[in-house]
A and B are shown apart, each in its own frame.
Chain A
Amino acid sequence: MTKQNNQGYSLDPVTFEVLKNAYVNIVDQMAEQILRTCYSFVIWSRDFSSALCDTEGNTIMQGSGDIAAHVGTLHYTAKAVIKKFEGDIHPGDVFVVNDVYQGGTHFNDTRIFAPMFFEGELLGFAQANGHWADVGGAVPGSFNVSALDHMAEGLRITPVRVYSKGKYLSDVAELIAHNTRKPDDIIGDLQAQAEACRLAEREIQRLCQKYGVETIKTSFAEVQDYVETLTRQRISELPDGTWETTDYIDVDPAEGEGLIPINVRMTIKGDSVHYDLSGSHPRTISTFLNCCYGGAFAAIVAGTKMQSPDIPLNSGFYRVVTVELGPVGSVVNADWPTPVAGFCSGPFEKIMNSVFELWAEILPERAMACTFNLDYLLIGGRDTRHEDKPIFMWYDWMVGGWGARNGRDGWAATGPVFGVQLGTQPFEGQERLSPVLTTEHELLIDSGGPGEYRGGMGVQKGGTLYACERTVVSYCCDRERSVTWGLWGGLPSFPHGVWVNPGQEGERYLGSIFSGEPLHQGDTVTRPSAGGGGLGDPLRRSVERVLSDVTEGYVSIERALKDYGVVVRLLDPDLAEYEVDLDETLAARQRIARERPAMLEEDPEAVAARYRAGELTLLDLIRQYGVIVNWGSGELLEKTTAQFRDMLKRRTVPYWSTRIEQVDMDRPTLRVA
């Protein structure tokens, strides 16, 4: 098995391919095992990942169904455990780690890690990572928006042993479990994850028996070489150059209004690609939307991997894709003891969408505009439907619209870029567990960003409280101000943000990030997920597509005119029949093409006043005027508006047709070198 052939691998092609596929099979078996036996509903909703690692902690294979935000971090936590226990790792040991300052993502993502031995020799490790529903801290679910440091977020687990030579260390496990709100579930998840790791060890042992241990060890290295070769091959076919873009987090409340820049600079040189985040906001921010190095690296890896979806993931990829995070202590390279539980809603998604934007320059055939932002909403209190008034947690996250693509509309109602497998929870299940009556779970009309190709549809979901007391609501999201953007002339979609009692007495707007707002029986809480950003000039969208969107109820007659310049009339509501007036449409499109650049120059305060007076709608402000206000009070956000208008002038305006007959146009470029 060691003869050198002309591939540059020492394994023969059959053994190599068979083992590579076997490793894919093993990590997928681990995933299946976890899915069938887990206790945390977050894991059940597929927020987990698995990997095989070599003796140094480098990943050999990662699960094909892994959550995107975990990829690119499993080798860090592996190395952390190995560093701590080197020389003291034995058959039957199992370790736990969730430390964000040692490569973890946030404390909920708890990694169970077990060595794989064959006849006394350590071959590597299996790792099963899952998002535990609660890891303690100040608030249920361990998403504490107002945490000042990590102590208030949850239990930080530095590498620790929970099985020693096969013996279950119940004292250690219980110490961990009893620092969470659901100790029994945590023990259940820990065992489910440990068993998935043992499954991997048994499978590796079987392969050792069949192919010989030396072959297996060689293959561990060569499977990484394989991914490296494949990735270099792809990169080397691309032009060299440096590209740069900036996306934004909404705000650092401690610094007043104003968007927080996340800057990504990408350089392709030869057969490797390097990212530099050092132009990003240099300080951590006062909400928990910060990111340690694990989360930032994961965003780069996940975004880059999406450009070559067929390449399997392991450490070979990280030899080709490298990252400079810039100085420690920034929003993308947070230091101890900064809280980072919201990394996923904050920098992670900004980095990932920026990576998409940069690659749209290089692979325009795979271009995609911005996607809605991950959110987590928690309503917690006491459930008075039962005599003992147990604690309830209505813990909810949304699916939303993905960015429009080159030649295609965006996906509707899909999991976040954070992890497309993170599905919605069935509300019939939620209604059993919490005194919250779901009022709606429906696509949100006009939520898709307009463009020649429309962004995917966002969703609206809400609920009314009954039979409860001492109830509060917390929310972790972003992009109520840095609204999900369009590309190549496409328009932004829709702002995130929570409303209480919308359109009724007691209406309140709570925004996209807040914690512990009190609620009362009878209150209705609702929020949208944004649609995807549009791609291309909406005035160039085919009239048939606009008509079809109106017929399906994706786009209103009003917005068909304002956003697309298409004049649609209802013929028969019973039959859902509509028609387009082509003459009026041409006139409308010509008028909009003429007028729209100037609208972005109108006095923001005057525009905000018209919003407060009810003359303009929220979508008018975002899509026609580029003005961002507090959506509840209508108060103008001056600096934010200036930044948002700059963004539109960069991503959108240069691609707009000035005369509607004109179809060809020169695209500006993000290329700087």
Chain B
Amino acid sequence: MRVACDVGGTFTDVCFLNEATGTMHVAKTPTTVDPIDGVIAGIAAGGVNLADISLFAHGTTLATNALITRKFPPAIMITTEGFRDVIEIRRGTRNDLWDTYKEMAGPYIPRRDRLTIRERVDYSGKVLVEVDEAEAREVARVIAKRGVKTVAICFVNAFANPANEQRMRDILESALPDCSISLSSDIMPEIFEHERFSTTVANAVLSPVAGAYTRDLATRMEEGGYTEDVLLLHSGGGVVTAKGASKFAGRLAASGIAAGAIASRFVARLSGFEDSISLDMGGTSTDISLCNKGELSVTDDWHVEYGYPIKFPSIEVLTIGAGGGSLAWIDDAKSLRNGPQSAGSNPGPACYDRGGDQPTNCDANVLLGRLGTRLAGGAVGLDRDLAEAAIRKHVADPLGLTPEEAAIAVLKVANANMADAVRLVSIRKGHDPRDFALVAFGGAGALHGAALARDLSIPTVLVPPNPGVTSALGCLLVDITHDISQMYLHNIDEIELPDMEAAFVELEKEGFDRLSNEGVAPKDMVFERFIDMRYLGQWRAMAIQVSSPLTTLADAVASFHVDHGREHNYSRPDAPVEIYRISVRATGMTQKAEFARNEPDGAAATPVGTRMVRFDELPEAIETPIYDRDRLTAGMRVEGPAIIEQLDSTILVPPGISADVDPYLTIRMDIPPAD
């Protein structure tokens, strides 16, 4: 049995894959104060014994939350004299340009905990000032006296020569044997001091958090009889072992967000789509990501909080403040707005009857009959009258609309906002949405998926079997990956291929060591090479994959021109090209499992009831059949208009559209192009 677990803020979702049968089941339990209790409880709730688990993978928001709340043990940063405040000065920018009363959180290590030492390396890597041993020992003494257990060493130009950082580390290690040390030249050996220091500091502060958590988790799992590695999902979409997680703790910073994107790619692939866009719509926000030819977009321009970059490659996920609980409101100039404020879970939408009187997207869906009044199999009751009252008071009356018209208007605005966000991740990057499938999940995604697809001319909508716990699936079936990079600033004409080949081999050796350290056998290792290129004079570079061993750069340069043309609509084939850095993705393949295919049995879908539902396409509410998803088997077709309900989600099938259950029990809706 393989088990994947996604610990979110409210719920812990667990996915179980029976390797023998290829079937999957899920469990959901509340997230606990010590999240490990919830993990263990979730596995138990699924009826699985820890001893029967062959592989356990885990996505967690632990690291993200630790950074946001600054709840981590004190850390020390040691940096070059004169540069104590690089991480506090940042790049000096803010993400809100106009609000002088919007605060920005301070750096992860406050000034009093940033120590300096005389040392200097120049741009070329030449050591100008060596680390003085006595001064370094004095720093070690202070750290020991403060009782701090994790240190970031961040020296100027250390990417060009790590000697001084390594010397500092050696002295610290001998003086402080049980201290965890993050070197900027190790963690992110790239030019630009703030980005490198910030990543290293995030790694250092998370190291004790991730270390303690993974140790405790591994121990609890072991006590219960689990004998294999505990794998943790990292931001780049691979996993690391507990051992790797503690050294490269910064890689866990977006663990929770990456899971949904990976799950979406998996679901789309099972149904035969290599190109997909994921729409993970929850209560307060929606996560959108893009998978092109089987590859998720990855970025190194990423942060948990603006101003504090974490340059580890991260799956690119655009989060917008539009969810089921987003508020609909009318601004001072009478325009109908949607979000980003949310009713949250308390008081929640008006229809929850917990005191909320502001209308939300959820209320609009209830009013229109798209959402039933009993959710989660009856565990939650929704009050349609309260939804109507809220919409009438705050939207319909001020705009002179009927409540139904107002509810439709609310949802149209919400859908348009989400469609704009999808445009940002797709069209903006040169992708045509018409080539993609939309994977709609999260609690609310399947209610909106069809309308969004129509707006964007996306031809296919896929709804996975368990939309509410799909993210957990993302932790399963991913490989152990390490991304290792090196600055390589050269004009393309100056490149000596043997030198570059040697540099790649060095990076691969580092990858080999990291994977070996995590117990991966050489036969399961795969190494991919990338070169980041840009037009000479430009500031941003694009990663181009190259072959191994290197025989020519001509193909890579040709690909660069093509990619530049696709992403930015123009290329300059005659302009000189520069190489910025090289990188290697080292992958330790985990064993793949097969999901069971279900063959159609020829049975027809039968509704379990009806209710009045108002669709955008029809002038008034009509009696609409309701289907129970648990009773839908492979090959069945549901003709719209229809509603398909299940424990954790509701699927809206608009008129003229049919929903087919595919062999993996994913529901597929084909959306004809708008006229």
Contacts and interface: CB of A to CB of B under 8 A. Distances in A.
A214 B146 CA distance: 70
A5 B413 CA distance: 17
Contact of B568 (A33, A309, A415): A33
Contacts of B193: 426-428
Given A39-B537, A441-B83, A553-B111, A29 B424 contact: yes
Given A7-B399, A191-B572, A413-B92, A366 B420 contact: no
B423 interface: yes
Contacts of B420: 21-22, 25
Given A29-B428, A414-B94, A552 B112 contact: yes
A376 interface: no
A65 interface: yes
B94 A421 contact: yes
B210 to A, nearest CB: 27
A64 B97 contact: yes
A8 B334 contact: yes
Given A226-B335, A420-B94, A408 B111 contact: no
Interface residues of B, number: 73
Contacts of A35: 540
A344 to B, nearest CB: 16
Given A426-B194, A443-B111, A14 B88 contact: no
Interface in A171-220: 182, 184-185, 188, 191-192, 195, 198-199
A138 B420 CA distance: 46
Interface string A416-429: 00011111101111
Contact of B91 (A192, A408, A424): A424
A101 interface: no
A408 B332 contact: no
Contact of A441 (B89, B103, B122, B538): B89
Interface in A208-259: 226-227, 229-230, 233-234
Contacts of B110: 552
B98 A441 contact: no
Contacts of B82: 438-442
Given A309-B98, A426-B191, A552-B111, A37 B93 contact: no
B619 interface: no
B10 interface: no
A64 B572 CA distance: 29
Nearest to A226: B333
Contacts of A558: none
A5 B330 CA distance: 15
A437 B423 CA distance: 44
A36 B540 contact: yes
Given A18-B412, A413-B85, A553 B112 contact: yes
B104 interface: yes
13 contacts: A7-B399, A21-B413, A65-B97, A191-B572, A408-B101, A413-B89, A419-B97, A421-B94, A423-B93, A424-B92, A437-B120, A574-B142, A574-B146
Interface in B330-346: 331-338
A412 interface: yes
Which 7 residue pairs of A and B lie closest in terms of their CB atoms, listed nearest first? Answer: A399-B92, A423-B91, A440-B82, A309-B98, A309-B99, A230-B333, A229-B333
A656 interface: no
Interface string B504-544: 00000000000000000000000000000001111110000
Contacts of A422: 92-93
B628 interface: no
B145 A66 contact: no
A167 interface: no
Contacts of B502: none
Interface in B39-93: 82-86, 88-93
Contacts of B412: 14, 18
Interface of B: 82-86, 88-94, 96-104, 110-112, 120, 122-123, 128, 141-142, 145-146, 156-157, 159, 191-195, 331-338, 399-401, 409, 412-413, 416-417, 420, 423-424, 428, 489, 535-540, 567-570, 572, 575
Nearest to A412: B88
Contact of B192 (A233, A426, A553): A426
Contact of B400 (A6, A234, A442): A6
A554 interface: yes
Nearest to B192: A426
Contact of B416 (A6, A18, A429): A18
A429 B191 contact: yes
Contacts of B96: 309
Contacts of A230: 331-333
Nearest to A550: B112
Contacts of B102: 309
A402 B393 CA distance: 42
A415 B94 contact: yes
Nearest to A416: B92
Contacts of A442: 82-85, 89
B319 to A, nearest CB: 16
Contacts of A437: 120, 122, 128
Contacts of B100: 306, 309, 356, 366, 368, 402, 405
A539 to B, nearest CB: 25
B123 A432 contact: yes
A305 interface: yes
Contacts of A36: 540, 567-568
Contacts of A39: 535, 537-539
Nearest to A29: B428
Nearest to B330: A13
A551 interface: yes
